[in-house]
Homo-oligomer: A and B are copies of this chain.
């Protein structure tokens, strides 16, 4: 800096860099200042590029052309107490989901009415019934891997986070979330001073996802006396969110020596091989179709919506995989335990939660963090209220993947 200015802005040398107190005003001013500072925006842009916070808009034809994703410039300050509550709920929800998944009888019974109205859920329930009830497969003895994402909204209701849903299938953004978290460390430091003054929680879900997959592969090898180092990621193609999925592949390759074979439902329907006697599953190598690769685990990033099953062969391979010895992430009971109907059931009746292993205290804690959910086919009063006041409600079909809900006037 020019000598003349030194007296004015000479920093105190008795402590580290000074961080302004993180008031709402300071935060908003920082945000505005960043958004209008070309040097800072260039810095952010280069960091987004380097972190691979991107999609592949033409993943099939132009896989080298990525496009940077929009992200918030700064992480949003958030009350630590609310964060910690949601964090604690994580393992309770996982336990609930797992206990529901190993009770296929209850799932089939509870979803009976949904299957009458919804053909997609019916087909899943049919497979669940055939595999786990008619053929008596004991899901509690299967290797089960849950890769869950719980979505919350901050609300004014007692200043609480309210959970919107639990994703038991194809939960996205574990990879991007890890990268965005690194990006936000950069911007928070630029805007608000040294990171030491901020309490940014460690946020590397991709590492824990990969570690969980590796554990499941290990359990498979131990249980069946195999040495598989390959999993199959079942994907849509084209898939513009492929970069997010590749972060898991990278973590598995670099940290666990596990290869990921990306296959569509159509490819699996055509050429997955399931040995009838051993129920081991193999897919042909992409490079050399005569080389069959043993797959220890199928990780579904598709298969959660009816449009992803193009014909009966897709349903057939899904069923045959469910009968096999490969680990399914998720299995069909796990997938069903994440349906909106099941979530509505345990939300509206705490005895469902205690039946599935939660203590009364845990069930109470859960209820405090869930938005009210009702089944419109059985809740006349609520439906009437929602018609009167549509801005206060959302109508959700039995679908995953976002974009299917109806809001406000659409109700």
Contact = CB atoms under 8 A, between A and B. Distances in A.
A292 interface: yes
Consensus secondary structure, chain A interface: mixed
Interface residues of A, number: 87
A258 B13 CA distance: 19
Interface of A: 1, 6, 9-11, 13, 15-18, 20, 30, 33-34, 37, 39-40, 42-43, 45-52, 54, 56, 59-60, 63-66, 68, 178, 181-182, 185-186, 189-191, 193-196, 200, 204, 226-230, 242-243, 246-247, 249-250, 253-254, 257-260, 262, 270-273, 275, 277-278, 280, 282, 284-288, 290-294
Given A16-B227, A190-B287, A259-B189, A181 B273 contact: no
A258 B17 CA distance: 13
A290 B64 contact: no
Contact of A246 (B42, B47, B200, B290): B47
B33 A288 contact: yes
Q: Number of copies of this chain in the oligomer?
A: 2
Nearest to A288: B33
A16 B291 CA distance: 12
B195 A286 contact: no
B50 A242 contact: yes
Given A13-B278, A46-B59, A243-B50, A195 B257 contact: yes
B246 A9 contact: no
Contacts of A30: 287
A343 B60 CA distance: 50
12 contacts: A1-B270, A1-B273, A16-B227, A16-B294, A34-B287, A37-B287, A40-B286, A46-B56, A50-B250, A189-B230, A190-B286, A204-B254
